[in-house]
Amino acid sequence: MSDDTTGSFDQVERGPEASAEDCAKPAFQEGAAGDHPSVGLLIERFGDAIVGHEVNSGDQHVVFVDPARNTEVLAWLKEDESQRYDFLVDVTAVDYGRGQPLEVVYQLWSIPNRRALRIKCRLDLAALRIESLTSLWKSANWLEREVYDLFGIHFDNHPDLRRILMPEDYAEGHPLRKDFPLRGRFSRAEQTRRALEQNPDHQYRDDLRAIGGEPAVVTLPDELPETLAEGES
Amino acid sequence: MGLDSEAQQALQMVEAQGVGAAGGHKGGLFGGGAPTFLTTKLDFVVNWGRRNSLWPMPFGTACCAIEMMASAASNFDLARFGMERMSFSPRQADVLICAGRVPYKLAPVLRRVWDQMAQPKWCISMGACASSGGIFDTYSMVQGIDTIVPVDVYIPGCPPRPEALIYGLMMIQEKIRGESLADHHALRAEDPHTVGRPRASAEEVARVSVPFGNSTQQDQSSVLPGEAELARTENLPS
């Protein structure tokens, strides 16, 4: 092993650095709106609700929408005969770190028109709230729960806004935020203790846990340690 | 006189083994003490039966489980070694094979499966993730299932090949060969009060989950690998 490798390991020790490029301020890209059959109509119809437009990787059109009017714009994209974006492919979010706004990303696909469109809404860290799209697409339910779980963005009028990936009593925050330490906020011992205190049964409804119509036993009997040690009498 | 004294001696020996056994055992022939002809032969028969009919409880969570399935299929055929079938019910299983990464959300499930298995039982930690957390040194991942359940054999690899799993199971068989009914209780039984609780103490968990050095941006319990004590203890939490 020669010493000239230490420099590269230093880089590893320092960890990832924030990208030099900040989250771009939404703007309208010159002359690109006409390339997509929806973007021009959106700008024309919704005016100042559309705060920006850009094209990524050649043909991926991204429209920035005022978060206060997201349902209005997306409802039109879904329902209008000329648009028919009937498939909500994904709802996710991006944290650029350094106090910049979080972006909620809606990826749409129109099955009849075979056309894709990406909608982004920027939310200030101080007000991480946005209207839920569950009234438009049923698939938004779990996708928004995931965004809530991992980024801490609240979706108003969501029917069931609970954590979906992390344990329901997870107390360390929202793991995909840039300010979240890689190993979590608690010590490993505390994480292990809390993990084993979870009752996995609590993740299921009572009627799903019932055995032959009888309610399932959710707690171990108090005398279990003695029974295990002494045998059943 | 001669015969009588021999019989008396033997009786005394049995009594001494049975009643005077250490560790609060309930008397009996196999309570402890030096092995006798009777116990060694019985040990041999019982261990022969146990080691040649180990039924695995597959707890497969990731790519290691694919190799585990391959081990059970015709090319490698675990059944040759007495692992006649995968027992998908913990009540009828002898050896827990934890194959793959275990997130904290799954930890109570793993612990419950282990608690539901009947004694005597053994545990194999298959692959890097189950043994140490592997590359997943993150907020969501158990750093080695030995903080949750006691492990007998660790199989390295990412994932291990079926040969490695079979070798691990053969090591369990070797371990059983050396066990004795006399100390079996002490070897296998856990403190019943630890059921559903972490097996390892807080200090032990902290010790075994020392960062590997390529995980960054830490603000908790980060110790340089050189300063950490890496030994794992046999002690159960008090």
pLDDT value at residue B203: 73
Q: What is the full DSSP assignment across A193-215?
A: HHHHH--GGGGS-HHHH-BTTBP
Amino acid occupying residue B54: L
Residue B133 has pLDDT above 80, yes or no: yes
Given a contact cutoff of 8 angstroms between Cβ atoms, the answer to whether A28 and A61 are in contact is: no
In terms of CA atoms, which chain B residue is nearest residue A224?
B192
- Cα dihedral A11, A13, A14, A17 in deg (nearest 10): 70
* Helix runs in A84-187, H state only: 140-151
Cβ–Cβ of B217/A190 closer than 8 Å?
A: no
Q: Which long-range contacts (CB under 8 A, 24 or more apart) does A42-49 make?
A: A42/A73, A42/A77, A45/A76, A46/A72, A46/A73, A46/A76, A49/A73
- Find tokens 């049975």 and name the residue: B18
Structure tokens at A208: 């799903």
Residue B214 has pLDDT above 50, yes or no: no
Indicate the residue of B196, B197, B209 with minimum beta-carbon distance to A188: B209
User: How far from the centroid of its chain's Cα atoms is residue B179's Cα?
Assistant: 13
Identify which has the larger pLDDT, A18 or B90: B90
Q: Categorize the per-residue pLDDT at B66 as very low, low, confident or very high, splitting at 50, 70 and 90.
A: very high
CB atoms within 10 A of CB A129: 12
Q: Categorize the per-residue pLDDT at A7 as very low, low, confident or very high, splitting at 50, 70 and 90.
A: low
Identify the three-state secondary structure at position B78: helix
Nearest to B52 by CA among B180, B178, B170, B189: B170
Mark out chain B residues that contact chain A at CB-CB < 8 A.
Answer: 104-105, 107-109, 111-112, 137-140, 142-143, 147-148, 192-193, 195-198, 200-203, 205-206, 209, 211, 213-221
Indicate the residue of A183, A192, A220 with minimum beta-carbon distance to B196: A220
A196 interface with B at CB cutoff 8 Å: yes
Q: Which long-range contacts (CB under 8 A, 24 or more apart) does A159-167 make?
A: A159/A134, A161/A132, A165/B105, A166/B105, A166/B140, A167/A194, A167/A195, A167/A198, A167/B104, A167/B105
Cβ–Cβ of B216/A12 closer than 8 Å?
A: yes
CA dist., res. B213 & res. A103, Å (int): 32
Identify the three-state secondary structure at position B2: helix
Average pLDDT for residues B116-140, to the nearest whole number? 89
Percentage of chain A with pLDDT > 90? 42
| DSSP 8-state symbol, B214 | S
Report how far apart the first and last C-alpha atoms of chain A are (Å, whole number). 65
The interface predicted TM-score (ipTM) is: 0.76
pLDDT value at residue B166: 93
Average pLDDT for residues B189-194, to the nearest whole number? 59
Cis omega (within 30 of 0) for bond into B192: no
Average pLDDT for residues A91-96, to the nearest whole number? 92
Percentage of chain B with pLDDT > 70? 63
Given a contact cutoff of 8 angstroms between Cβ atoms, the answer to whether A63 and A120 are in contact is: yes
Each residue's pLDDT tens digit, A129-177: 999 999 999 999 999 999 999 999 999 999 989 889 998 888 888 999 8
- Per DSSP bridges, beta strands A87-95 and A60-65 are unpaired
The alpha-carbon radius of gyration of chain B (Å, integer) is: 21
pLDDT value at residue B24: 43
Given a contact cutoff of 8 angstroms between Cβ atoms, the answer to whether A84 and A41 are in contact is: no
pLDDT value at residue B215: 45
Indicate the residue of A14, A166, A187 with minimum beta-carbon distance to B206: A187
pLDDT value at residue A23: 61
Each residue's pLDDT tens digit, A185-203: 888 888 888 888 887 777 6
In terms of CA atoms, which chain A residue is nearest residue B141?
A183
pLDDT value at residue A223: 75
Average pLDDT for residues B82-90, to the nearest whole number? 86
Indicate the residue of B105, B196, B206 with minimum beta-carbon distance to A189: B206
